């Protein structure tokens, strides 16, 4: 806490009920002060600069699915399999993350409909340990795909991750082939697998299920890549081009089908499902 915040906190304010903190939010991109309710109504997109803010799993599901969707239970996996410890114990880090989240890990799956088209929607949640992919994330992805196979409906996955969960070591790496087993099964079953790449999607997540969709949609400005920008700069000593690893750059280089604004996402997905899997109109 800086000295300024300490002083500010020590100054008593008259009305505590609705503090400025929850009434206003600052756009992380253009720093415009936004009325929180307007920002939320605008799907957490800045009305001034169009910056697409990061949203959690529940918010995303509510934005995309028709009301009345069902959240599926989170998988049970071995916890802290390596008994990992850096400056802190992994067991404590995950406990802290759970205390701040309504969920147990970084991937949520729901069964619902998008404008009447039945779908399984998986959302990776960057707010939970940077969305990092460990066994719980991998198993949740697998469970979502299994459910889509059972329901014979599309699987739509919103990716967001800083990469693999290092504290699970090699077991996090093994989630790459594991998830890929399921994308192959969806393909064989003729079910659409649609990936929506959101900010940021990097590392092993990008190098597995995020790049294996029938359709790749990216949110404007989303950072999407394999190697981290600092790693590239450090090891290669190249200056990075303008807009490098952003959604628009990936579109230009042929890695995503389209860059779609958040306000049009739901309709875009419904339209795609109408083309790829019309029989499933519920």
Residues that bind another protein (CB under 8 A): 76-78, 81-82, 84-87, 135, 138-139, 142, 164, 166-178, 180-181, 183-184, 203-204, 206-212, 225-228, 231-232, 235-236, 238, 240-241, 244-245, 253-255
Q: Which of 129, 134, 126 lies closest to 168 in space, CA to CA?
A: 134
Task: CB nearer to another protein: give 9 or 88.
Answer: 88
3-state secondary structure of 30: coil
CB of 76 to another protein, least distance (A): 5
CB of 264 to another protein, least distance (A): 25
For 132, which DSSP code?
Answer: -
Task: CB nearer to another protein: give 71 or 82.
Answer: 82
Task: CB nearer to another protein: give 192 or 203.
Answer: 203
Task: CB nearer to another protein: give 151 or 226.
Answer: 226
CB of 193 to another protein, least distance (A): 12
Task: CB nearer to another protein: give 133 or 273.
Answer: 133
Scored b (16 or more CB within 10 A) or e, 219-239 reads bbbbbbbbbbeeebeeeeeee
Give 166's contacts (C-beta < 8 A, 6+ positions apart): 132, 172
Q: Which of 185, 113, 155 lies closest to 276 in space, CA to CA?
A: 155
Tell me the backbone φ, ψ of residue 136, rounded to 5 degrees.
Answer: -65, -40
- Mode of pairing for the β-strands spanning 117-124 and 154-161: parallel
CB of 240 to another protein, least distance (A): 7
CA angle 218, 223, 229 (to 5 degrees): 150
CB of 270 to another protein, least distance (A): 26
3-state secondary structure of 89: strand
């Amino acid at each position: 806490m800086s000295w300024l915040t300490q002083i500010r906190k020590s100054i008593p304010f008259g009305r505590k009920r609705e503090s400025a903190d929850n009434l206003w939010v600052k756009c992380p991109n253009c720093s415009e002060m936004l009325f929180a309710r307007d920002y939320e109504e605008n799907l957490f997109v800045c009305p001034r600069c169009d910056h697409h803010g990061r949203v959690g799993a529940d918010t995303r599901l509510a934005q995309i699915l028709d009301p009345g969707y069902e959240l599926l239970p989170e998988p049970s996996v071995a916890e802290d399999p390596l008994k990992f410890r850096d400056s802190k114990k992994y067991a404590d880090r995950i406990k802290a993350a759970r205390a701040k989240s309504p969920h147990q890990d970084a991937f949520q799956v729901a069964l619902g409909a998008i404008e009447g088209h039945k779908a399984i929607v998986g959302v990776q949640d960057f707010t939970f340990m940077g969305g990092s992919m460990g066994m719980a994330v991998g198993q949740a992805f697998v469970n979502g795909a299994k459910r889509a196979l059972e329901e014979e409906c599309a699987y739509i996955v919103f990716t967001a991750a800083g990469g693999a969960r290092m504290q699970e070591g090699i077991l996090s790496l093994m989630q790459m082939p594991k998830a890929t087993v399921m994308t192959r099964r969806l393909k064989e079953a003729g079910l659409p697998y649609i990936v929506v790449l959101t900010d940021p999607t990097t590392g092993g997540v990008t190098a597995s299920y995020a790049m294996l969709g029938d359709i790749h949609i990216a949110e404007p400005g989303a950072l999407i890549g394999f190697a981290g920008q600092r790693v590239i700069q450090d090891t290669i000593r190249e200056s990075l081009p303008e807009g490098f690893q952003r959604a628009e750059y990936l579109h230009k280089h042929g890695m995503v089908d389209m860059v779609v604004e958040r306000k049009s996402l739901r309709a875009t997905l419904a339209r795609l499902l109408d083309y790829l899997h019309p029989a499933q109109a519920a």
